[in-house]
Amino acid sequence: MKIHIRKKQISNQRYSIYLEYYNKGKRSFEFLDLYISSKSKLSPSERNTNKSVMKAAEKIKSIREYEILVGSYQKNKQISNITFIKYMELLVAERGNYHKYVPSHFKTYLKKDVKITDVDVVTLEGFRKFLLKKYKSKTVQQYMTTLNITLNQALREELIQKNPLRQLKPLKVIESKREHLTYAELQSLYNTNCDKEQVKKAFLFACFCGLRISDIRKLRYRNIKNNIIELYQTKTKDLIYIPINKFAYNFIDVNEKDDEKVVFDLPSPNIVTSNLKNWVEDAGITKRVTFHVSRHTFATLQLSFGTDIYTVSKLLGHKNLQTTQVYAKIVDNTKVEAINRMPEL
């Protein structure tokens, strides 16, 4: 078992210090109730305080290492000091996306933090009802998944006796409509000017490869080799390989020599959204188009042009084929609509 001293920013001026235990691919944490200043400029007294706190953390780490060595370490002995929201924050810190919002939502609901052992089925049911007043069922289900990840980890670490979330009745998820663009609409966008050329190029490129905007933003030229994108997805952390459509090369600089340069220099999310809205309207398209529509467009066009669903699933980086099945339903509905548009003889 390896032990590391870690820190997490809990405010603009303060870090919380904790221990991270790593054993056979599994992580667990111990919260030390130690804090240091994270200000860019520290006074002499603040620097001394930080040094003293880190020395205290090092001492606790040494004690834990000795306890592990002699077999006296009990990983659940700090249970009385572990609060649920803080535990969840540390656990989902590297997962990103919607996971990071759940601790703050939970705190808003409870108006306080609680011990892990105090989280019961009544609390979780109340939290789910709280979320359903604000979000669609699919989003709520995603947020509850974050809680399930946290509680399952606590169960593995023997911090709780059972996962109370398993007692909740499953939430009936209403599948939301996944907007996508037709090939004709893509042609209209291609032939329409956009205020930010990088937004236009990035969006159209994504329509031909299916990358999320988080992956488009971090895509570098070193990720594109031999007509294949090789990239670790931001959302899932999985490595994906996507062959590049020949036409997609129109949207990137094929002569770029700097491997570390980002392929698309995109502005802030708000500006991207604003530019997309104006560009889509100028192209005469009435659909509500976000950047993520490019991913839906890639999936539906691939299926429409005969790519099998298993291949499309792999290209999108889906772990579950059922996730991709949604796009197959869209294509089926489109085919029915096309048949019904045929004129009578």
pLDDT tens digits, 143-173? 898 899 889 888 877 778 889 999 888 887 6
Indicate whether 276 and 246 sit together in one domain. Answer: yes
Residues paired with 115 in a beta bridge: 83
As a whole number, mean pLDDT of residues 230-251 equals 87
Quick one: 267 and 333 in the same domain?
yes
In a domain, 66, yes or no: yes
Both tokens of 172, joined, read 């009936």
Question: What sections of 112-224 are H helices per DSSP?
Answer: 121-132, 137-156, 183-190, 197-207, 213-218
Give CA–CA dist 197/203, Å, rounded.
10
pLDDT tens per residue, range 88-129: 887 776 565 667 788 889 999 988 888 888 899 999 999 999
- Decide if 104 is inside a domain: yes
Residue 59 lies in a domain: yes
- The answer to whether residue 22 scores a pLDDT higher than 90 is no
Final residue of a domain: which of 31, 54, 75? 75
CATH classification of the domain holding 113: 1.10.150
Torsion of Cα atoms, 296 then 301 then 307 then 310, to 10° = 10
Q: Which of 75, 96, 80 is nearest to 27 (CA)?
A: 75
Residues 222 and 325 in one domain: yes
Say what the pLDDT of residue 79 is.
Answer: 47
Q: Are residues 138 and 261 in the same domain?
A: no
Cβ–Cβ under 8 Å, residues 106 and 118: no
Average pLDDT, the chain: 84
Residue 345 lies in a domain: no
**Top-confidence residue, 10 or 101:** 101
Mean pLDDT across 183-203: 94
**Do 193 and 276 have their domain in common?**
yes
CATH number of the structural domain spanning residue 229: 1.10.443.10
The answer, as to whether pTM is greater than 0.85, is: no
Tally of structural domains, the chain: 3
Which of 142, 157, 176 is a domain's end point?
176
221 lies in the same domain as 303: yes
Domain of 298, in residue numbers: 183-340
Q: Are residues 259 and 321 in the same domain?
A: yes
Residue 189 domain flag: yes
Q: Is residue 83 very low, low, confident or very high in pLDDT (cuts 50, 70, 90)?
A: confident
* Residue 174 pLDDT: 65
Task: Examine residue 16 and state whether it is found in any structural domain, yes or no.
Answer: yes
Question: Which among 117, 145, 176 is the end of a domain?
Answer: 176
Claim to verify: residue 148 and residue 282 sit in the same structural domain: no
